[in-house]
Amino acid sequence: MKKGFFVVLLSVLLSGLTAYGVVKANNEGVFVSSPSDGSGNAVEYRTKTVNLADSDYPDFTYAAESAVDAVVYVEVTVKMRQQYQQIDPFFRYFFGEEFGQPQSREQKGSGSGVIIRSDGYIVTNNHVVENASKVSVTLNNNKVYDATVVGTDPATDVALIKIDATDLPVIEMGDSDALRLGEWVLAIGSPLSYNLRSTITAGIVSAKGRSMPSNSGEFKIESFIQTDAAVNPGNSGGALVNKKGQLVGINTAIISQTGSYSGYSFAVPVNIVKKVVEDLIDFGSVKRAILGITMQTVDDKIAKELKLSSLSGVYINEVSKSGAAEKAGLQKGDVIIAIDGEKVKDAPSVQAKVNNYHPGDKASITYIRDGKEKVTEVEFQGVATNTGETNVDGSIAFYGASLKSADAETLRAIGAKGGVEIVSVGQGKMAEAGAEAGSIILYVNDQAVSKPEDVIALTKKASRSIFIEGVDANGKSFYFGFAK
């Protein structure tokens, strides 16, 4: 009887202590209990009660409110050409020769943009304004302006437009290199329609240095910031900002099987954008540094073959003849691990780093050869973007390729009196036609050529097509043509 009484008393005491602990926890935000761990010993557990309204949950109000007014709606008009083919002459007899001829129609498109200077300079995507006959900008205060395209850079998908206005709100540029995985970011833009202008979504930095597969064959510089902030068509050209309200990227693309957001979005890092914009303002085009290599990210197979201690770096597959890398002593099989002391882990990071330089700039390249770490200095070359322009190395741009006069030794080897060497193929009509570096052009439209200026002059005279004959690096004759 007494034993039962003590059991009841002990239960009451424990209940009282538990109730006291609950009350104390509610007052202090801590719950305390002392259950047995099975050995008869009391074990103390502490659980903190969190009020989400008063917690450290991310607050985006400052970033959103300070950045939203500098993000604009961009509307473009593109003239499309429709071709009617195989028209019966019977119809032309009655309706005139114009019947069945190509007709033009206008197509509307839209995107977003970011004001980067108070005097009207706005960054957007190249694909937003490409081929546009008219561009208009609507500010967040609903004012509408006509815009002019200052310049575009398809390689980074960045474009710069300008409106005639002053005292505009701007977004402070941040440092995209300082972004950390898991860091919160906001995407601001005009997704899907005009009615959804100034839409703000939040996400985290999911990855950095991303590249995306492309079958276009065009030269691209890709080192995208990947986020899970919701981005849809219309967000292109909009702002990616950090919690401080600083611009860290320009929203550019999504990967989706439906055409709408499915969890992944990509932005051009602002550190790439800065350099492109400065060049477009100062020169009207991007003065891009070229290292002169083809490369691939070091993988496990390469690391084992070369006995590398790390998978970071890029393996040089090919060194362009007379390019900056060759002149610096770099060779096929070398592994670049740092540029100017900053480590590079993959091909996109090398592209992004080189993109910060101008032709003629110098940098130290740290590389591994035969298991030994070495350093060399490279002077970057440039690439001319327009046919007839001169590159830093003296070669002449020609539909994406670079040309120079063939030297005497090469001409003796092929038994020719004159010819023009294809130094590099690049990206453009020459590459698409099948041109190969090291080949010698002997004739353009049946006319003999001995220097790049001859090629350019004959090309200008051509009314429609360009036909090229010559000898490739293996001594075999070639012949190809393309529309002017």
Helix (H), strand (E), coil (C) string for 215-230: CCCCCCCCCEEEECCC
- What is the token pair recorded at 39? 């050995």
For residue 358, indicate whether it is catalytic. no
CA dist., res. 263 & res. 203, Å (int): 10
Q: Is 11 helix (H, G, I), strand (E, B) or coil?
A: helix
Exposed, middle or buried: residue 406 (CB in 10 Å: 0-12, 13-18, 19+)? buried
Distance of CA 382 to the CA centre of its chain: 19
CA dist., res. 50 & res. 194, Å (int): 41
Exposed, middle or buried: residue 98 (CB in 10 Å: 0-12, 13-18, 19+)? exposed
Residue 456 zone, left/alpha/beta (φ > 0; ψ -120 to 50; rest): alpha
For residue 157, indicate whether it is catalytic. yes
CA dist., res. 450 & res. 416, Å (int): 10
Contact 456, 388 (CB under 8 A): yes
CB neighbour list of residue 166: distance below 8 Å, 6 or more residues apart: 118, 119, 120
Which residue out of 33, 69, 127, 472 is catalytically annotated? Answer: 127
Which residue out of 176, 190, 206, 236 is catalytically annotated? Answer: 236
CA dist., res. 129 & res. 446, Å (int): 39
Which residue out of 157, 346, 393, 454 is catalytically annotated? Answer: 157
Which residues are part of the catalytic machinery? 127, 157, 236
